[in-house]
Amino acid sequence: MTSAVRHSHRRHVMFSERIDRLQPSPIREILSVIDRPGMVSFAGGLPASETLPDWSGTASADVLQYGPSEGEPALRQVVSERLRSLGVDAPPERVMILGGSQQGIDLVAKLFIDRGTPVAVESPTYLAALQVFRLYGARFVDLDVLGENLARLAYVIPTFANPTGACASDAERDELARRCLSAGTVLFEDDPYRDLAYDDCDRRPVASRMSGGSWVYQGSFSKTFAPGLRLGYLAASAELFPRLVMLKQALDLHTSRLSQSIVLEAVTDPGWDARVEGLVRFYSSRRDAFESAMRRHLGDLAEWHTPRGGLFYWLRLNEHIDTRPLLAEAIRRNVAFMPGEEFFPNEPVLGTMRLNFSHASGDDADRGLATLAGLLRDRTR
Ligand code: PMP
């Protein structure tokens, strides 16, 4: 592709108004050179290293000092290799480590969304992304009519979506990339579940099909390692990345270095692949047990597709009742679920529910589903 054609896609990129006021942090720029040998720095507010608490962890004591906004170089390198193996154009210089991928949603929203900015989303979609986009004033438009609505941003979870568990086909991924490219819409691909694949399906990132366009791709260590560490990452096309780094500087300077060092050690351990394979086996058998329990208890009350990965079942009840008021009653009976109505950007479809199958043990899941079925029978009789 010639560079003229490449740029033609990017001509349309529009940032939020606040980006006119976005400036690099002078202090952060200086901090990136103070490690140079012989440098005497009066610049930053770094505590004297000898005053930092004693450190007996396996990571270097540097983790207690301030660090780079983009993240630890070694971890960015690992993420970059991983993303490149998926076909995403993500050299280490365009990888940023996040305090959880939820943080990436906030950064991208800040970069693009003003009051009334059209943002294309799936319906239903991840409710905490809707929460952030709403906070910045987004107007939600349907992903299926992307071209006509000239959305500035398209937020998608193509692989084992939250809440539906759905995995987009190769053709759907191609089509989405094609429509983003031709409408000049920025693709924002959120991919925290991709490693939790129990059955075969197309998973090559949409971002790997966005050559010449604008995109942000993000992932997370929450589902494969530990959510409490708050560790995620993003990669972005070249014209977006520096602005995302400035927003990150302004937000929290950088992600916890201790968390980064713990994750770096885990992902570079020779046992990492075996760990992920073990997770997949564990959750895959949980899903199978959940599926049989669902058939037993809810078979005549709802419909669903068996998710090929991820953590969720999406239920469509035969009776189109609002499930929100059912939640309080369910909690009184010691069972909790997510009312599906919460996941819709605009008008909700009634009679929908998201059930997580990864957390509860087989016996607890069976008991919980029996209770839920009882409740639904009482309500719909
Ligand atoms: N995106 C999606 C689609 C999610 O489901 C989640 C967590 N449930 C997140 C982002 C945030 O994950 P984290 O901040 O833990 O990386």
Rounded CA gap, 230 and 258, in Å?
A: 11
The pLDDT score that the predictor gives to residue 29 is 74
Nearest atom in ligand 1 to the alpha carbon of residue 126 is: 3
CATH class of 273-380: alpha beta
pLDDT given for residue 4 in this prediction:
40
Task: Categorize the per-residue pLDDT at 41 as very low, low, confident or very high, splitting at 50, 70 and 90.
Answer: confident
Q: Locate 26 and state its tokens.
A: 């002078």
Q: Give the strand order in the sheet containing 312-317.
A: 302-303, 312-317, 352-356, 338-339
Size of the chain in residues: 381
Model pLDDT, residue 2? 39
The CB of 222 under 6 Å from ligand 1? The reply is: yes
Q: State pLDDT tens for residues 180-234.
A: 999 999 999 999 999 999 999 999 999 999 999 999 999 999 999 999 999 999 9
Give the pLDDT mean for 71-85. Answer: 98
What rounded mean pLDDT belongs to the chain? 93
Distance between first and last Cα of the chain: 62
Q: For residue 36, give Cα distances in angstroms to 30, 39, 230.
A: 11, 6, 30
- Provide mean pLDDT across the span 79-99: 98
Residue type, 363: D
How many CB atoms sit inside 10 A of residue 110's CB? 21
Pairing of strands 352-356, 338-339: antiparallel
Distance 100 CA to ligand 1 centre (A): 7
Q: What average pLDDT score do residues 253-268 get?
A: 96
Provide the pLDDT for residue 193: 98
Task: Provide the whole-model pTM.
Answer: 0.94
Say how many C-beta atoms besides its own lie within 10 A of residue 227's C-beta: 13
Give the CATH number of domain 17-267.
Answer: 3.40.640.10
pLDDT tens across 271-321, in order?
999 999 999 999 999 999 999 999 999 999 999 999 999 999 999 999 999
Q: Which residue has the tokens 């995109």?
A: 215
Q: Where are the beta strands (DSSP E) in the chain?
A: 95-98, 118-121, 139-142, 153-156, 186-190, 215-220, 232-236, 302-303, 312-317, 338-339, 352-356
Which of 127, 190, 234 to mutate to test ligand 1, by most ligand atoms within 8 A of the CB atom?
190
165 — alpha (psi -120 to 50), left (phi > 0) or beta?
left
Query: Best substitution site from 108, 125, 222 to test ligand 1's pocket, by max atoms within 8 Å of Cβ?
Result: 222
Q: What integer pLDDT is reported at residue 248 of this predicted model?
A: 97
CATH 3.90.1150.10 residue ranges for the chain:
273-380
Task: Tell me, using a 6 A CB cutoff, whether residue 162 lines ligand 1.
Answer: yes
CB of 164 within 6 A of ligand 1: the answer is: no
Convert the pLDDT of each residue in 343-357 to its tens digit: 999 999 999 999 999
Q: What share of the chain is helix, strand, coil (3-state, %, to 5)?
A: 45, 15, 40
Nearest to 90 by CA among 103, 78, 107, 100: 78
35 against 184, higher pLDDT: 184
Report pLDDT for 145.
76
Q: Say what percent of the chain tops pLDDT 90.
A: 83
Whole-number Å distance, alpha carbon 380 to ligand 1 midpoint, is 33
CATH 3.40.640.10 in the chain, residue ranges: 17-267
Model confidence at 1, pLDDT cuts 50, 70, 90, reads: very low
Tell me, in angstroms, the distance from the centre of ligand 1 to residue 101's CA. Answer: 6
Q: Which residue has the tokens 């208890």?
A: 297
| pLDDT of amino acid 320 | 92
Other residues' Cβ atoms within 10 Å of the Cβ of residue 334: 10
Q: What is the pLDDT, as a whole number, of residue 79?
A: 98
